[in-house]
Amino acid sequence: MKSRFLVLFFISVISGLCCFPVDTGAAEPGKAEMLSIVEAFRLAIDHDASHAMAHQQYQADLELLPQAQAGFLPQLSLEGSQAMSDYQNPSNTLTSPVLNNTVGVYLVQALYQRNLFYGYKKAKGQVSVAELRYEEDRQRLALEIVENYLSIIRLSHERQLALGELENYKVRWQQADAALNLGRASLADMLEAKSRLEETEVRLLLIKRDRNKNVRNLKRLVGVTVAVDEMFSWSEQYQPLEWESEEWLALAKENNLGVKIARLEKKIGQSLLEERRSAHFPTLTLNASISDRDHDDLGVTQGSEAKISLGLKLPLYQGGRTISTVRQARSFLRQSEEKLRGTLELTSLNVQEIIDNLLTGKENIAVWREILAARTNALEAAEESHRLGFKDLIALLDTQSRLNLTLRELNNSIYDHLVQVARLHSATGLLDIEALKKIDSTLLPLSLLKKSASLSGNSQYRR
């Protein structure tokens, strides 16, 4: 009882050490960083070039609002001029050229310009769209990190299995070769074991290639090499959750970022239409100025002058330009309405497909676990039959291959299910830090998994 308590205590200590937050500061050159998904995402926010571009675009779009507000404020300017003219007055006292110097301060204040109100409303919508597009890029980045991160874990499992297969086939090939020399095995047994050994070596090379690709992609996003498969993995006992289709469909229609953007673009289209229609309406402005004039011709008014006036402008005919721009804006509005309808339909289909994948994935995981138990027993029976001489080596290798295939399929099913969970949160606009923490919580420290496997006799880790 005491030894069991010590074992459990040792496992909890390992788990605590592996899950302890790591320093995500500057990494040593060539050294891999131990990062969770959340930590990798936080680093990527500051490093990824595409997200940096999206941030600058967002900052640029924010300036649309003060630009629209500027139209409501007074326009103040300082103007000066000097003119030279050549003419004669009746007294013939002027010398050529005649100079005219003017300097003044001019104020223009819009009192009623209908297009300014709708232009401001349009700018507010554009800023809201910019915020959603920036959030959309954040979630794009989060999903890309999850996919690469989990793919490295999946390939680490595959590599672990392939290394076990390689060692097993190597032993079987050596045994078959020795038995062939003694006349106790056929040439077919030896060649089959050798071919499976070479096939596994090729698969290891492909796994290494794919893993390196994911590691490079993750480094491009994060800025450092992440030692994913040296820190975390998922357990064979991973339990998928239940997912209610109707609930997530409703969330997607309300929170999907593409749907939100389409709704705002429809409102922007309405504001654009009203802004274009405003060209039919009169405008009213207040004009004020203070100026000082110095003229060589004493007969011309000189000195300071203050003036204030109201300006009314009623458009009558502009060559059909206003009517054309209104028709154009109406078409843009109809286009945005169709885009909203299409986005809602595609979002519903996408979420329903993800839900179906999650439900199917849950069933697949359960089925592959049952198959794993059956094929593990089948391998033990096949090994005993081969030892007694009832089965040849090829039959034993076939049984081992089927067991290894089952382990790979179970591994792939868990990976697919976790990726679909991330995609569901992305499709519903909810792939934030909290969602990433939930995915992180499904991963366990690799050292704890290996310790548990050794205590339980798990064949996957023994290989």
pLDDT score for 458: 43
Give 348-402 as a 3 state SS string: HHHHHHHHHHHHHHHHHHHHHHHHHHHHHHHHHHHHHHHHHCCCCHHHHHHHHHH
Q: Which segments in the chain show pLDDT lower than 50? A: 1-29, 449, 451-463
CA–CA dist 81, 100 (Å, integer): 8
For residue 11, give Cα distances in angstroms to 15, 22, 44, 405, 448: 6, 20, 32, 30, 6
Kind of pairing between the strands at 232-234 and 443-445: antiparallel
pLDDT score for 305: 86
**Percentages (nearest 5) of helix, strand, coil residues in the chain:** 70, 15, 20
pLDDT score for 32: 62
CA–CA dist 170, 397 (Å, integer): 12
Q: Where are the alpha helices (DSSP H) in 182-308?
A: 187-222, 245-255, 257-277
Cβ pair 225, 219 in contact under 8 A = yes
For each of the domains in the chain, give its residue range(s) and CATH number, in order of start: 31-88+95-462 (1.20.1600.10)
pLDDT score for 90: 61
Q: Collapsing DSSP states into helix, strand and coil, what is residue 98?
A: strand
CA–CA dist 199, 203 (Å, integer): 6
CA–CA dist 446, 461 (Å, integer): 11
Rounded to two decimals, what is the model's pTM?
Answer: 0.80
The token pair at 251 is 């969330």
Distance from CA of residue 116 to its chain's centroid? 36
pLDDT score for 144: 96
Eight-class DSSP state of 236? T
Dihedral in degrees, nearest 10, Cα atoms 41, 44, 49, 55: 70
CA–CA dist 395, 397 (Å, integer): 5
CA–CA dist 152, 150 (Å, integer): 5
CA–CA dist 243, 424 (Å, integer): 10
Taking each helix axis as running N to C, give the angle between helix 49-62 and helix 37-47, from 0 to 180 degrees, rounded to the nearest 10: 60
pLDDT score for 197: 87
pLDDT score for 157: 87
Distance from CA of residue 329 to its chain's centroid? 32
Residue 76's DSSP bridge partners are 107
Closest among 395, 366, 419, 394 to 238, alpha carbons compared: 366
